[in-house]
Every structure is written in C-alpha cells, then in structure tokens.
Amino acid sequence: MSHIEVNTLYLRNLATRTRGIESTLRQFSGLAGNAFQSSPKVRSAYSELGNRWDMRRDELADALAAIADGLDTTWRAFQDTDQQLADALDGESTT
C-alpha cells in the first residue's frame, strides 16, 4: 500500500529560516542614506539605486513573509491532521 510521508520538522525549520531571511532583509534599509562626497551625477545615480533597492528589498521581504506563512499553515495542517488521526485511533472525538 502506498503512503505519504511528510517531514513536518523540515517544514517548520524552513518557515523559521525563511522568516529569518525576511527579518534580515528588513534590517538593511536605507542604502540611499549612506551618501558620500562625489559629483552630483554620481550622488544622484547612487541615490536612485538605493531607492530602487529599498523598494525591491521590501517586495522580496513581503514575498518571503507570505511563503513563511504558507509553510506554517501547511505544517499546522499536517500536525492537526496527525493529531486527529491519532485521537481517532484512541477512540476520542476528532471534532
């Protein structure tokens, strides 16, 4: 008979690591604020790069947060289902 094996610890750890990466990205804000002395053209280009990086970094961090939420939801669903099946085997109510 076929069966499915799910490594719920892996799902949980992956969610935790994903949240850690998200947190790290959010801490590195304000690249454009690290200005230096140079020509106006170079300063302007650096500022524009920093502003775009900040925007993209936030988008990436938001995407990672959504992925971590999905991993947590999946982990919880497997944990809840496993508990319900164990309770059913023990004759307890699954509701």
Please tell me the total count of domains within the chain: 1
**For residue 16, is it within any domain?**
no
Give the tens place of pLDDT for each residue, 15-53: 999 999 999 988 876 655 556 677 888 888 888 888 888
**For residue 7, is it within any domain?**
no
Contacts of residue 18, Cβ cutoff 8 Å, sequence gap at least 6: 64, 67, 68, 71
Helical ranges in the chain per DSSP H: 8-27, 40-89
For residue 13, CA distances in Å to 4, 9, 70 come to: 20, 6, 13
Average pLDDT of 78-89? 91
**For residue 3, is it within any domain?**
no
Task: Quote the mean pLDDT of the chain.
Answer: 86
What integer pLDDT is reported at residue 34 of this predicted model? 58
**For residue 36, is it within any domain?**
yes
**For residue 17, is it within any domain?**
no
**For residue 12, is it within any domain?**
no
d(CA 37, CA 43): 8
Range of the domain at 70: 29-81
Average pLDDT of 63-78? 96
**For residue 48, is it within any domain?**
yes
**For residue 45, is it within any domain?**
yes
